Amino acid sequence: MGLFSKRLGEAPVPGEATVVLPAGKVKIDYEERREGRELDGEWPGIPEGLEVSVRPTSGGDPLTVKPPRLDNEFASGGRIGSRYGHIEVAVAGEHVVTVPAFDPGRQTFEPHLAFKK
């Protein structure tokens, strides 16, 4: 589960960030900070309309984001999240993560993506 994976970096939702990723499978989690906030019912999960692009800074096509096999939800350290998917990184190095603006359809609390090994 995402809770015990090594954290490699974060990107804001929406927004852009550069993260250093190792070669191989890298998991992507959607997270929100929930410390001190009450959930109204169950965790609503990943907002509809969220799109993620991960591209090597050296150029080339965006990496394919593959959906998770199972719905993984977790809560830890004031964060709550869900597995968004994973990518296969061919060459270790810097990658630009872009999340275009969208309407999440609900209130979010410091949403971000976490990249994990």
How confident is the model over 35-46, as pLDDT tens digits? Answer: 766 666 678 899
Mean pLDDT score, 89-94: 97
Are 29 and 2 within 8 A, CB to CB? yes
Q: What residues contact 57, with CB distance under 8 A and at least 6 apart?
A: 18, 93, 94, 95, 96
CATH topology classification for 2-116 = Jelly Rolls (2.60.120)
| pLDDT of 104 above 90 | yes
Mean pLDDT score, 52-77: 92
Q: How many CB atoms lie within 10 A of CB 25?
A: 11
| pLDDT of 3 above 60 | no
Are 17 and 112 within 8 A, CB to CB? no
Cα separation, 81 vs 27, in Å, equals 13
- Please choose, from the candidates 26, 13, 31, the residue with its C-alpha nearest in 3D space to the C-alpha of residue 79: 31
Question: Domain segments of the chain: what residues?
Answer: 2-116
pTM comes to 0.90
How confident is the model over 76-85, as pLDDT tens digits? Answer: 878 899 999 9
Average pLDDT, the chain: 91
